[in-house]
Chains A and B, each alone.
Chain A
């Protein structure tokens, strides 16, 4: 199984901050099969970024994704009030499809 280890598990930030979340895969994920989701309490996750770095339709450009080897990064530049939420990475390369443990972004 491909494990995806996300860090940190939580962080505190202020509006306007730049936030970085990292996901490390236990093995190489081929064909950019790494996605990012945002989840707010009581709601299903929303797709933010697919194929490592492509923004889902309607997602603001302050969100970006990148990759280096088996490390994947979600960056939120200029954090907005609506961005306080939990973020998950997910590998879609090989079954079982797996999610990271989540990063909760809280207001400082």
Chain B
């Protein structure tokens, strides 16, 4: 059974960097058949896909245009996890953030992290 365990702060100040980590058990971040995603949810934006990292003989990333200039998603093969780093956050980045495995559909999700951007 795949499990995704999220960690990271719930409060971030405006203009600072949001960092979250998703630890994987039951699968590998280097899997050739999965992609590892970050998704957020807020009342104003609904469910919003942010981006993903995946390995197909080499590492690839895809990002949503809305956050592309501020977002980095990185795998960590030594710890079997992946991370999100969102720079220069504003109150509009306040949301519940989820990590998820994609095998053609998002079949496993992390528990979610409520992130509030406020001074």
Contacts and interface: CB of A to CB of B under 8 A. Distances in A.
Contacts, number: 51
A63 interface: no
B102 A45 contact: no
A47 interface: yes
B7 interface: no
Contacts of B104: 33, 35, 50-51, 92
Interface of A: 33, 35, 37, 43-47, 50-51, 56, 88, 90, 92, 95-99, 101-102
Contacts of B49: 95-99
Interface size class of B (residues with CB under 8 A): 10 to 19
- Overall SS of chain B's interface: strand
B106 A102 contact: no
A47 B37 CA distance: 15
A73 B49 CA distance: 22
Contacts of A96: 49, 62, 64-65
A47 B64 contact: no
Contacts of A97: 37, 49, 102
A50 B107 CA distance: 9
Interface stretch (B12-20, B77-85, B87-95, B108-116): B108-116
A61 B109 CA distance: 23
Contact of A44 (B46, B65, B98, B105): B98
B45 to A, nearest CB: 10
Interface of B: 37, 46-49, 62, 64-65, 98, 100, 102, 104-107, 109-112
A37 B47 CA distance: 11
Contacts of B65: 96
12 contacts: A35-B104, A44-B110, A45-B47, A45-B106, A45-B109, A51-B105, A92-B102, A95-B49, A96-B62, A99-B46, A99-B48, A102-B46
B111 A44 contact: yes
A95 B65 CA distance: 10
Contacts of B105: 35, 47, 50-51, 56, 90, 92
B106 A37 contact: yes
